[in-house]
């Protein structure tokens, strides 16, 4: 938790130093997050499954940067909305465990709405 908090504080300072906080509304941050997620997807566009698992180092470095961009906007959004990311993730894992019980879904990629 301390590491995430430090990152959020560092990002807040980065934004404050540049007078960008006024642009970082939840709406704008969620839109920027979507753009960065799309840029991450673009790194894998048209690759085969095997190619996506065995990318050259320069392409992996692009993926690393895009993942970082996604996380940065996610952290900024959580900061703006006063959301504890780790708590939210823990809660979502619990919800998913209820929706996807092991005895009914193991080895299947079906959505929970497809189970009887």
Residues 46-100 pLDDT 10s: 999 999 999 999 999 999 999 999 999 999 999 999 999 999 999 999 999 999 9
Report if residue 89 sits inside a domain: yes
What does residue 107 show for φ and ψ, rounded to 5 degrees?
80, 5
Q: Based on the number of CB atoms within 10 Å of its own CB, is 2 exposed (0-12), middle (13-18) or buried (19 or more)? A: exposed
Report if residue 15 sits inside a domain: no
Q: Using one digit for the tens of pLDDT, what is the confidence trace for 6-59?
A: 999 999 999 999 999 999 999 999 999 999 999 999 999 999 999 999 999 999
Report if residue 104 sits inside a domain: no
Confidence (pLDDT) at 114 = 86
24-59 per-residue burial string, b: 16 or more CB within 10 A, e: under 16: beeeebeebbeebbeebeebeeeeeeeeeeeeeeee
Report if residue 109 sits inside a domain: no
This prediction's pTM: 0.90
- The number of distinct structural domains making up the chain is 1
Task: State which residues form the domain around 93.
Answer: 24-98
CATH number at residue 70: 1.10.287.1080
Report if residue 82 sits inside a domain: yes
Confidence (pLDDT) at 1 = 66
């Amino acid at each position: 938790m301390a590491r995430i908090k430090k990152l959020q504080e560092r990002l807040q300072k980065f934004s404050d130093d540049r007078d960008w906080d006024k642009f970082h509304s939840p709406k704008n941050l969620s839109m920027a997050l979507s753009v960065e997620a799309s840029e991450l997807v673009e790194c894998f566009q048209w690759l085969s499954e095997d190619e996506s698992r065995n990318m050259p180092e320069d392409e992996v470095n692009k993926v690393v940067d895009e993942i970082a961009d996604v996380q940065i906007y996610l952290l900024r959004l959580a900061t703006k909305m006063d959301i504890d990311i780790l708590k939210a993730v823990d809660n979502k894992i619990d919800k998913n465990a209820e929706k996807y019980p092991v005895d009914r879904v193991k080895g299947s990629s079906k959505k929970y709405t497809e189970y009887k």
